[in-house]
Amino acid sequence: MALPGFVHALISAGKLARQTAETVCRKAQNAGASVIAELIDSTAISAAEIAQTLSSACGAPLLDLDTVDAQRLPKDLLDAKLCLSHHIVVLDKRGNRLIVATADPSDQAAAESIKFASQMAVQWVVVEYDKLARLLRTLSTGSSKDSAGLGTRTPVDFEFDENDDAAAASVPATLDAAGADIEDAPVVRFLHTVLLNAIEMRASDIHFEPYEQRYRVRFRIDGTLHEMAAPPISIKDRLASRIKVISRLDIAEKRAPQDGRMKLKLDSGHAIDFRVSTLPTLFGEKIVLRILDAGSLRLGIEALGYDADEKTRLLAAIGRPHGMILVTGPTGSGKTVSLYTCLDLLNKPGLNIATVEDPSEINLSGINQVNVNEKAGLTFATALRAFLRQDPDILMVGEIRDLETANIAIKAAQTGHLVLSTLHTNDAQSTLTRLRNMGIAPFNIASSVILISAQRLVRRLCPQCKQAHETPRQALLEAGFADPPIDGSWKPYRPVGCKACYDGYKGRIGIYQVMPVSEAIQAIILRDGSALEIARQAQAEGVRTLRQSGLRKVMQGLTSLEEVMAATNE
């Protein structure tokens, strides 16, 4: 039969014969009793010998519980039932670690349960079984019950907004944190803790990922994924069901991807939206939550990182009465924030502004916002047609995905409306050829598009720990620096890392290629010129590439050369 880990340690130390161990373990199993208690009762091994042996074998410190004052043990760190079921007592909390007394430091199930319930690492302290049992009896029956960290953990002080139609308007009361079944209560608390931690750590996405032997939770912070927790794999289905119920998804459907939304109400004046996406994988459903915290967004144009000449070009374009402005870049490059920054500047009582998105990620008072609903027949194209009958001044289309939407948007730009939208292209010049490839006539492109802004987000160096460092001249030249900037008056900074940041970075900043469509570029479009020709003309007109824009941020000490090289491909 399979023997517990601590029994193997006793056998290896010569304290116990294997045959005796198997007999004792079988007897304890049949009686439903503790193996350690049965060893103490049935053999000549004392509780002190077991504790000393396991302390040496596991490298964990040994503690005499007679020296511990139960009244001074920490409160409210672990649930009482969890402590009793795993035969443990919390002794102390140090940083992100719980110091826990146990008679069996090889109990991995207990360690995983503690990590899951507390979201902290576990450091074992080995104690004698009989003394631990006496302390647990005292704590569970005496007045000091809560002083050992055995009281019920206080629920988090926020709740899901159950009155929001787009975010689970009718969450069953039995699944609420206060009324959850006892088996689901740890899952509810775990989910609430993860969401709150992600918000506090400025994460943009949360990934719940099931694998064959483990379950992983990662946060995307400043564009990079960081592993944050590894709860027991046994919770994956209950956690998925909890998220799907709140997001009003079909909990019975596990074979197809689903998309939904939920809202987290932190207090009376602050609620955070989450966009929910589920995906069936080999070992369960992977769930990704996109955090849409409109309250944390800074829509001021100064916060986006435009250089002075780039800002001037953008402001000149949005000040025109009609035409099309396109913002391009990959997913997660900040296109929506850039568009809403422009809308915020344009948002005046005398203008009628309407947007259609899939879905709306930022709520802006004074703007008419519409969410795409393809099941109901509300697409980008149908919404745009409806907008044009609503006497609009400015239109924003979340993304131009097809020829029909592109045609309507271009016609709107040609007939006296200012149209803002996005495309997924690598740079500004490729956007014009992309429209051509979609089937838009060169004349319509040249007469409607007035400016294209390609962008990327790079991590901003932490101002508290960044350090200047010497970089070989040849490396700077290969990166794209010209001779004049390499004059010794500045040095690139490198990330170091401190308590205030992640890997030496804190926050992100944009790098931009802001290209107005001049008469010369219009001429190239009309003769169906290539993206390379457009790029050369833009360079001649003083438009910087994304790489050149990024290198200026390196010279300013805002980001590292490695970040710019990774974000741009030239």
| HEC per residue, 348-359 | CCCCCEEEEECC
pLDDT at 268: 53
Instruction: Compute the C-alpha angle 399/361/319, nearest 5°.
Output: 60
Neighbours of 167 (CB within 10 A): 23
Neighbours of 95 (CB within 10 A): 7
Judge contact between 46 and 131, C-beta under 8 A.
Answer: no
Which residue type, as a one-letter code, is found at position 89?
V
Which residues neighbour 200 within 8 Å (Cβ) at sequence distance 6 or greater?
none
pLDDT at 269: 59
The whole-model pTM stands at 0.66
Which residues neighbour 441 within 8 Å (Cβ) at sequence distance 6 or greater?
none
Which residues neighbour 8 within 8 Å (Cβ) at sequence distance 6 or greater?
none
Hey, what's the torsion of the CAs at 246, 251, 257, 259, to 10 degrees?
A: -20
d(CA 450, CA 315): 12
DSSP state of 184: T
- Mapped onto helix, strand or coil, the DSSP state of residue 347 is coil
d(CA 78, CA 176): 20
DSSP state of 246: H
If you write DSSP's letter for every residue of 99-149 in order, what string do you get?
EEEES-TT-HHHHHHHHHHHSSEEEEEE--HHHHHHHHHHHHHSTTGGGGT
Q: Does residue 359 have a cis bond before it (omega within 30 degrees)? A: yes
Cα separation of the two ends of the chain: 63
Q: Which residue, among 225, 297, 222, 304, has the nearest Cα to 553 in the 3D structure?
A: 304
pLDDT at 52: 87
d(CA 10, CA 35): 12
β partners of residue 262: 274
Q: Which residue, among 321, 335, 341, 519, has the nearest Cα to 419 in the 3D structure?
A: 321
Strands 203-210 and 284-292: antiparallel
d(CA 326, CA 452): 5
Neighbours of 53 (CB within 10 A): 20
Series of mean pLDDT values for 10-residue runs along the chain (570 residues): 77 83 80 77 82 84 83 79 84 85 86 84 89 80 40 35 39 36 65 87 93 92 88 89 90 90 73 90 95 67 88 94 94 88 92 90 86 87 92 94 93 94 92 92 95 95 90 82 71 88 89 96 94 95 94 92 86
pLDDT at 295: 59
Tell me how far the alpha carbon of residue 560 is from its chain's centroid.
23
Judge contact between 209 and 217, C-beta under 8 A.
Answer: yes
Helix (H) / strand (E) containing 521: helix 519-526
d(CA 211, CA 168): 28
pLDDT at 459: 93
pLDDT at 170: 33
Rg (CA), the chain: 31
β partners of residue 371: 357
pLDDT at 141: 57
